[in-house]
Every structure is written in C-alpha cells, then in structure tokens.
Structure 1
Amino acid sequence: MQLEQSDNFTTSFSNITTPTPEGGRGGCPPVGIQLEGVILPPVLIIDIILGLLGNIVALWIFCFKLKAWNPNTLFLFNLVIADFVVLVSLPLRIDALLRGHWVFGDVLCRLNLFMMFSNRSASIALMTVVAIYRYFKVVHPHHRFNRMTKCQAVYVSLFVWLLVISPRVPMLAYSHIKGSGSSTQCFFFTSYKEASRAIIILVGMHRILTVLEFIIPLAMLLFCSIRIFSFLKERQMGKADKVRKAMQVCVAIVAVFMVCFLPTTVTTIGVWVIRSYRPWDCSAFYTFTQLTIVSLGLNFLNSALDPIVYVFSSSMFRKALCSTLPRALRCGHDTDNDKESSSGSQTTQQELKSLRTDRSSEAL
C-alpha cells in the first residue's frame, strides 16, 4: 500500500506521518498500515450503535420526561448534543475506510474533520463543567455560583462551545483533499514535504490542544473529586450513602475521561517525541502508530459512555429513566414506592419525602 493510501485515516485523526529525512538522517519507509480498514470499521460501528441507543434515550428523557431543568441538566443536555455531532460524522469515515477512498467532496471533508475534532474538545470541556458544578454544590454550598439561573447556564454553555470550537475553525479554511478519483483521500496532510506552512502550523496547534485539553481538565477533575471526598468525610461522618452518591459522579466522569481520552493523548505525545527527537527509530514509530489505531476507537467511545455520566450526575434524570422502565426493571426504591402507594396517607408522606430527597440528592 502506498503512503498516501495507507496512512490516510490515521493521519486524519492524529496527524501521523512517516518521518522525513532531517539533517541528513534517513526517514522510515512507509508504514504500510493494513489494520486501519480491518479494526476501525467494526469498532466505530459499535461506537455508533451504542452511542445512538444511549443518547436517543437520553434526549427523549431530557425533552419529554424532565419537567424541571436546572443548570446541571442544561450542561448534560449540551453533552448530548456534542455526542450527536460526532455520531453524525463517523459514518462518513466508516464509508471511506470500507471504500478505500473519500467520495463526499471537499466541503464535507472539511466539516467532517471539524466535527470530529470539536467533539473531543466539547466532551472534555462539558464533563469538566459538570464536575466543577458538583464541586461547588457540595464543598461551597453558599457560593454565588450555586445561585446560577438557567439563563446564566445557557450563557456558560455557549461560552464553552465558543471556547472549544474557535481553535478548530481554521480547519474549515483549508482543503484537506488529496489525490483524485479512486485515490482521493480526506486528511490533514501526507507529509511535511507536501504540506503548506499553514497546515503545519494547524497540525502543531492540534497536537498542543490534544495534550493540553486532557492534562488541564484531568487536573481539575482530580482536584474536584478529592475535595468532595475529603469534605464529605469530614462533615458528614456516618452518612456513607451521601458520600457514595456524591463520589459516583466524579468517579464516573474520571473513568470515562481516562478510558476514552488518555490513549489518544499518550500516542499523540509518543509520535510527537519520536518524530522530533528519534526520527530514525522506525520500530518505535510503527509501534505508536499501531497503538494510535486502537486508541481512535476508544476516543469516540465517550459518546456511548456519556449516558452513564447522565445517570450518576442528575437524580432527576435517574428517576425519570427508572420511571420509564417496566416495573420489574425499575430502581429498587421506585418499586418500593409503588407498593407503598396503597395507603393514601402513606402516599402523601412518601411523595413529600421523595421531593425532599430529590432536592437533597440534586444538591449533591
């Protein structure tokens, strides 16, 4: 397989190219990747199926089952939108992998790359906002941040979208189509020799963003998780259930974050270091290239795993989900509530108790 054909998909996601000769040193031969058309299509198809199932259910609950929205719900709803953006873009990539070339033209190529890269940034940013919101609710309950209105939450969401999309907008200004006919491919560049200076700068920005948008939010997520855990342990001794529920949110977010985004970050740094300091180390370059192929599928698995974050992050969402399930599959306390509803006075008391519990749990 020629370099243009073998590296097209890997290059489009993580900008990997075979090292070119630098300072008289010979570069590596073409990688000749054969696995991209074998591994990625089934992995991406699974991501799409699971992502659509989970996010369609989530969207239905947000739109038709939740009667009251709060800032946390709005942030989670924006996360659903970010997931749908990438789920719409992935089928085009699957088609290109199966065909062996790109058939959708220059405009869709630019939009496709833009949506895929923007999704990663938006998902990371919105999950971080959800964790920070939970942190203030638990650790600083009297902070004015907790008095945020739904309108203010909308402004925060718009700011987040603007923040993550702005660095990706330059991608729309350049054509990423290479070749013609049955050899047409949609990706950033083939090699530094063929790339313009603008594209090289764009790729450098992408690599920097890939690393920074993982390290900085991860530090914030870990800080929020540790502070929430220590605060609840100190202030609410004996109330292990509240500690557990509050920590579930942060643990779920950190788990999704690490599983989906850590591999891509590590392989991006690895390829970057090898190309910059060890361009003659072809064995290491090939190893990181293969690992990058595997990490691509995990990178978009977040769209399938995000519904887990919705369940742990919002008690209103969780209760709405449970209420839609068949009685045999409902959450334990919901089933108990149904049994207790036989008595009128008991029902009234239970409803009042549930309302207080909802408000208390939502604060956590």
Structure 2
Amino acid sequence: MVEEATVVHSNQPFHCLAPQDLVAKILPPVLITELLVGLPGNVMALWIFTCRLKTWRANTLFLFNLVLADFLLLISLPFRIDNLFRGEHWVFGEAWCRSNLFMLAVNRSASIAFMTTVAFDRYFKVVHPHHRVNHMTSTQAGWVAGGIWAVVMSLRLPLLTTDLLVQHGNKSLCRSFSAYNVTPLAIKIHNTVFVGEFFLPLLLLLFCSARIACILRQRQLDKGQKVQRAIRVVGLIVAVFVLCFFPSIATGLSALFIKKVRPSDCESYNKAAQLFSLSIGFTYLNSALDPVIYCFSSSMFRNSLKSAINKLGLVEMRLSRRGSMTSDG
C-alpha cells in the first residue's frame, strides 16, 4: 500500500521510492520468531488433522483449511526474511517475486476467510441451533471451502499480472504494496482487497460476538461450560484478528492520507511507510496464534492432541468424554 520515500519525482512511476533500511534491521528477528513459533504448531496441527482425527465434520474441515493457509503462508516467509537480510535486495528473480507475494497474500486472505467462517459456525450453533447450516455434511463443507479458496485466489490474481520487481540503484525491490504516482488497476484491486478483508470480516465477527452474547443472556444460558466455550472462541478470534491486522490498516491508511494531502512531504511519508512495513509483521503473527483457536474450537482436535501427548508417556491428560472423536463442540 505504501513505500518509504526520500524525494518525489513526478515523472517516475513510483511516489517517493527508496529502500527501507530500518525495516530491514528490525523486521527479520520478528519474522524469524513467528516462523519458529508458528511452524511447529501448524505442522503439529496438520499432523493431527490428517493422521489422528477419525471423524471429519464441517467445523473440522474449516479448521483444517485454516491451518493449511497458515502453513502455506509460513513456508513462504523465509524468502522475505532473506530479502530483508540483504537490505531489501531480491535475488530470486521477477517470476518468483510475483509468486512469493501472491502466496503470502492468498494465504493471508484465506486465513482471514476461514477464521471468519469458524466464527460463523459458532454463531449458527448458538443463535440458530436448528438451522440446516448446522447439519452441513463434510462434502458440502468441502464445496464451501473450495469456493472460498477460488474467490480468494481470483481476488489476488492481479499480483501475478503485475511486474512487482523494481530496480532502485543497485537493489531489486520486491514489494506488493507500492505507492504509485498513477496507480495501475491491478494494484488498486490489490489495495482494495487488503482494506476490505479487514473491515468486512471485523464487522461480521463483532456481529457474531454481540448476537451470541445477547441470545445467551436472553436464554439465561451464559453460565454453562459449553456455552462459555462458544463465547470464548468467538471472542478469541476477534482479539487475534484485531491484534494482528489493525496495525497494518491504521498505518497504511495514514500513509495514503499523507500522500494525498501532503504529496511533497516525503519525510512524514517515510515514517508512516516504515511503520506500515513493520506492522506487516503483525499480520503474520496471526498464523502463529491460530493453533490456539484450533484447541478452543474443536473438542476432537483437543482430544487428539491430548491422546498424542499421553502416548509420549511424559504426562497423562484426561480426554473429554463429550468430545471423544465425535463432537465439534
């Protein structure tokens, strides 16, 4: 959405283009930490979903696609880390620049979409317990998941149609968020999706949270353990979502505002652009935190995890009878 700036050249395609040296110093340790924390958790989750679960329900399938999106995003990060260690000099070629940024964007969007889907699943189970959505088969859920992937990938296709590798001095800058003097249509679509995939899911998540809390209080059921878990699941999803994605939206929109009202003030634009690039690190934190959501959202997943830990013989964990391989509660 933004790039760092030092000077404005009105005859150049980019607005205030320059390397972001501060970001290249600060962000790599953050990304490495997220990778080291998130990758083992997501690999373990993939193993449990593919090898340990005996029954797949709709909620389980949505959670599996969430962990798949997170896993694919995390394995794309090493290329960005290498890029930053080289002072933002991309050495893997133009085609892989597009592909890597496409992978990051698609899987970030898919993670948001499936996180929102899990929240909606909880919403229907609590607010509309007899709705036919709650009786969705795993096959039907598979079609829904496939539709989500198709929409997400189609919205991110502009990244594959645009040359994202920019030569600046002796460095090749590979960025999906660039401030253009005249913004191409493909980049306008990319930026619009980035903003829209925050505000629309946020409104849906807040709606789900408010309706669940309201209905349960009306029914005087907000004290039960199962009901409390449903509230905690949606609340946790909202908290993780805001923590991870709000900083990048706030700083990105601030930089665009500065570009709009003070186009020649590259010093102020620099600061906002650097904050935006640093805040991108928070969006990847989402993929490291999502395994916590799996544990809260599926009793089948929790029981499988406990069973695997019990087999190690280091500690004995009690399985839930209610959720033993048959429930998504």
Whichever residue aligns with residue 133 of structure 1, its letter is: D
- 1:62 alignment partner, one of 40, 44, 49: 49
| Corresponding residue number in structure 2 for 1:51 | 38
RMSD of aligned Cα (Å): 2.7
String of CA shifts for 1:171-197, please: whole Å, max 9, x gaps: 11232222399523323487635xxx6
For residues 260 and 198 of structure 2, the distance between their equivalents in structure 1, rounded to whole angstroms, comes to: 21
Mapped partners of 2:217, 2:272: distance in 1: 42
State the alpha-carbon separation in 2 of the partners of residues 181 and 291 from structure 1.
Answer: 23
- 1:239, 1:289 → 2: CA distance? 46
**Residues 70-106 of structure 1: per-residue CA shift (max 9 Å, x gap):** 0001001101111122112111111111123211112
Which residue of structure 1 lines up, in the alignment, with residue 28 of structure 2? 41
Which residue in 2 is equivalent to 1:362?
328
Contact 2:109/2:152 (8 A) holds in 1:
yes
Matches within 5 A, 1:175-254: 175-179=163-167, 183-188=171-176, 192=180, 200-237=184-221, 239-254=223-238
1:126 aligns with 2:92: no
User: Does the alignment pair 1:149 with 2:137?
Assistant: yes
Distance 1:97 1:356 in 2: 45
Q: TM-score, normalised by structure 1?
A: 0.80
Q: What are the Cα deviations for residues 51-84 of structure 1, in whole angstroms up to 9, with x where unaligned? A: 1111011011101111101000100110111112
Alignment-mate amino acid for residue 145 of structure 2: S
Note the C-alpha offset of 1:293.
2.9
- Cα contact 1:28–1:280 (8 A) shared by 2: no
Structure 2 portions without partners, runs of 5+: none
Conserved 8 A contact 1:233-1:243: no
User: Could you report, residue by residue, the CA deviation over 1:100-123 in whole angstroms, capped at 9, with x for unpaired residues?
Assistant: 321111221110010111122111
Give me the whole-angstrom Cα distance separating, in 2, the residues matched to 1:130 and 1:115: 22
Q: What is aligned with 1:3? A: none
8 A Cα contact 2:2 2:273, kept in partner: no
Q: SS where residue 15 of structure 1 aligns? A: coil
Alignment of 1:1-364 (within 5 A): 14-18=1-5, 20=8, 33-100=20-87, 101-179=89-167, 183-188=171-176, 192=180, 200-237=184-221, 239-326=223-310, 329-331=315-317, 333-334=318-319, 354-355=321-322, 362-363=328-329
TM-score by length of 2: 0.88
Distance 2:119 2:179 in 1: 40
Q: 1:316 to 1:29 in 2, by over 3 A?
A: closer
Aligned length: 322
In 2 relative to 1, CA 281–151 (structure 1 residues): closer, same or farther, beyond 3 Å?
same
User: Which stretch shifts more, 178-187 or 260-269?
Assistant: 178-187
Q: Secondary structure at the match of 1:185?
A: strand
For 1:308 and 1:55, locate their aligned partners in 2 and report how far apart those are by CA, in whole Å.
Answer: 10
SS at match of 1:83: helix
Counterpart of 1:141 in 2: which secondary structure? coil
For the pair shown, the structure with the greater C-alpha radius of gyration is 1
Contact 1:106–1:177, Cα closer than 8 Å, also in 2: yes
